[in-house]
Structure 1
Amino acid sequence: MKSDAAFSAAPLKGLGGPLRSSEPARAPPAPAVHLLEEAADLLVVHLDFHGALQTCERAWQSLASPAPAEEPGGASLEVKCSLCVVGIQALAEMDRWREVLSWVLRHYQVPEKLPPKVLELCILLYSKMQEPGAILDVVNAWLQDPDNQGLPEYGALAGLHLQRVLLPLGRLSEAEKLVVGSAAFGEEQRLDALRAIHTARQQQKQGESSCQEAQKLSQEGSFSKKFLSLLMLLRRLWDSALSHFLSLSFKKSLLAALILCLFVVRFDPASPSSLPFLYQLAQLFHRIWKATIARLHQLPLRD
């Protein structure tokens, strides 16, 4: 907020006119007016934001005391509004913008009594900080108050509430109800607002469709990952079995191959004609086996 020069200058537009100490006053200035001028100087000239906020608090305390008979009520309301403007700016510059709404309501008690300028600054501040939901209930209460609906600023605040709060929050039904049911919008303004709501609704549907497609792709990706994991597991098992088989000695492997060949020759009747080499090999092993058995029978037996 300290680097936002445009926002810093905007709230101080209401501090000109009779609030400047260099201009002659038509009536003796009240203590609150002096404190308001001091707070504005601390904020703009000295950049003492904490001091400006403390001075606004002292001014509010002076306004809480019984007002002099010569002080008009309208002047007091204008001073209160200007004090709020300075206080909002000081809190924003100190990066304490989240305290703005509670600080303002502490002095005005109810949202319906907020001055239009103060409410406008709150909407701009919270929408700029991307937290329009914090101001939603306050603005709704202010717009629904019958006393505020006759103010000349009502239409501008309703449009600002539509653009900066309802549409960013996706409250499209509330926005449509506000546009159709309020006399604050002219015919052309109402058509523009309805177009904006229609566009926001289309974007919302597209976003929901994209979200569903992303979820579907995520599910498919999860299945693919599980399938790949299964394939990797099978591959590791195959590699393990193959490495174990290859780790056997050459003799054992050869013996296993010969035994397999003997089984094939033994149990396959067509093998003698189709596999002559294996048949001859089997005959050779059979002769060796008979010779070995015969030699064992010829050995003399000893007691």
Structure 2
Amino acid sequence: MRSGAPSPAAPPRALVPLRSSEPARAAPVRSAAAALLEEAADLLVVHRDFGAALRTCERACRALACGAPAEEPAGASLEVKCSLCVVGIQALAEMNRWREVLSWVLQYYQAPEKLPPKVLELCVLLYSKMQEPAAMLEVVRAWLQDPDNQGLPEYRALVELHLQRVLLPLGCLSEAEELVVDSVAFSDEQRLDALQAISTAREQQKHEHSGSEEAQKLNQEASPSSLPFLYKLAHIFHRIREAVSSPLCQLPIQN
């Protein structure tokens, strides 16, 4: 019995050549931005070229603003954008341009409530360290009031950071108390601890205010009564100077 003849191999599929008039597909925005992020981090940490690191972050953010490809995983470009802002914040701080940080990040997020929690945290820590917590007051307030942010896992930590680094140093104790009482992010124990910290700050504020008033009162009372003594002291110095310069007190010059 003759075996069947082997079936002929299927002909190779013809490859459709790319016409010269067809543009090559652009590299995914995600890959380009991620590569720039790596380059910016290298410039910041290894080469310590802070200006170049900042410019690289800005190039990457502009690339992301052009749009992400449809096949990119959801949220991937947001993570890259957040990391770029973290590197940019560090670069600005290293160049002593920390005052530009808030306006720099807001140009990429447009509204304070859209800032990622990590970026907002770094901004609060930076401005607090530089003794300028007031710059963050309205920004954090808007972020905390946004309903979309109140369900984030970082929400409670940012409320606590806002209390410790912004509201309490600025003496905004009523606002701090209202925030703690109304926030659903705290457990009963955490709320009690926060209210205790606010109460301690209020007592300290009253003590400092009372001490300042007493010092001012003492200065006002002491100033008029001290004038006769100062006049008398000046008169004594004047008499001493006259006595020293008197001819009777001058020693004869020996030839």
TM-score, normalization by structure 2: 0.78
Residue in structure 1 matched with residue 177 of structure 2 by the alignment:
176
Q: Is the 8 A contact 2:30 2:64 kept in 1?
A: no
Structure in which a larger fraction of residues adopt helix:
1
CA shift, 1:44, in A, is 1.0
Deviations 1:24-67 (A, max 9, x none): xxx99521111011001111111111110000010011111132
Query: Percent same amino acid at aligned positions?
Result: 72
For this pair of structures, how many residues does the alignment match?
210
Residue in structure 1 matched with residue 147 of structure 2 by the alignment:
146
Alignment partners' CA distance in 1, 2:218 and 2:108: 53
Counterparts of 1:89-108 in structure 2, within 5 Å, are: 89-108=90-109
Residue in structure 2 matched with residue 279 of structure 1 by the alignment:
none
Deviations 1:55-89 (A, max 9, x none): 00100111111322212331011011001000001
Alignment partners' CA distance in 2, 1:173 and 1:28: 47
Could you tell me which amino acid in structure 2 is paired with residue 133 of structure 1? A
CA shift, 1:225, in A, is 2.5
* 1:222–1:49 Cα change, 3 Å: same
Alignment partners' CA distance in 1, 2:178 and 2:125: 22
Counterparts of 1:91-130 in structure 2, within 5 Å, are: 91-130=92-131
* 1:175–1:154 Cα change, 3 Å: same
Question: What runs of 5+ residues in structure 2 fail to find an aligned partner?
Answer: 1-27, 240-255
Could you tell me which amino acid in structure 2 is paired with residue 36 of structure 1? L
Residue in structure 2 matched with residue 209 of structure 1 by the alignment:
210
Alignment partners' CA distance in 1, 2:46 and 2:233: 71
Alignment partners' CA distance in 1, 2:95 and 2:233: 58
Alignment partners' CA distance in 2, 1:153 and 1:142: 12
Could you tell me which amino acid in structure 2 is paired with residue 60 of structure 1? C
Matched, 1:45 2:21: no
Counterparts of 1:1-303 in structure 2, within 5 Å, are: 30-228=31-229
Could you tell me which amino acid in structure 2 is paired with residue 82 of structure 1? S
Alignment partners' CA distance in 2, 1:34 and 1:52: 13
Residue in structure 2 matched with residue 301 of structure 1 by the alignment:
none
Alignment partners' CA distance in 2, 1:69 and 1:154: 30
Alignment partners' CA distance in 1, 2:107 and 2:217: 49
Runs of 4 or more consecutive aligned structure 1 residues displaced over 4 Å after TM superposition: 229-233
Could you tell me which amino acid in structure 2 is paired with residue 173 of structure 1? S
Could you tell me which amino acid in structure 2 is paired with residue 128 of structure 1? K
Alignment partners' CA distance in 2, 1:97 and 1:149: 28
* 1:32–1:138 Cα change, 3 Å: same
Alignment partners' CA distance in 2, 1:231 and 1:83: 70
Alignment partners' CA distance in 1, 2:178 and 2:30: 46
Alignment partners' CA distance in 2, 1:153 and 1:167: 20
TM-score, normalization by structure 1: 0.66
Question: What runs of 5+ residues in structure 1 fail to find an aligned partner?
Answer: 1-26, 240-303
Greater radius of gyration (CA): 1
Alignment partners' CA distance in 1, 2:37 and 2:233: 75
Q: Is the 8 A contact 2:29 2:69 kept in 1?
A: no
CA shift, 1:229, in A, is 5.2
Alignment partners' CA distance in 1, 2:159 and 2:76: 26
Could you tell me which amino acid in structure 1 is paired with residue 129 of structure 2? K
Match of 1:30, SS?
Answer: helix
Residue in structure 1 matched with residue 22 of structure 2 by the alignment:
none
Alignment partners' CA distance in 1, 2:29 and 2:116: 25
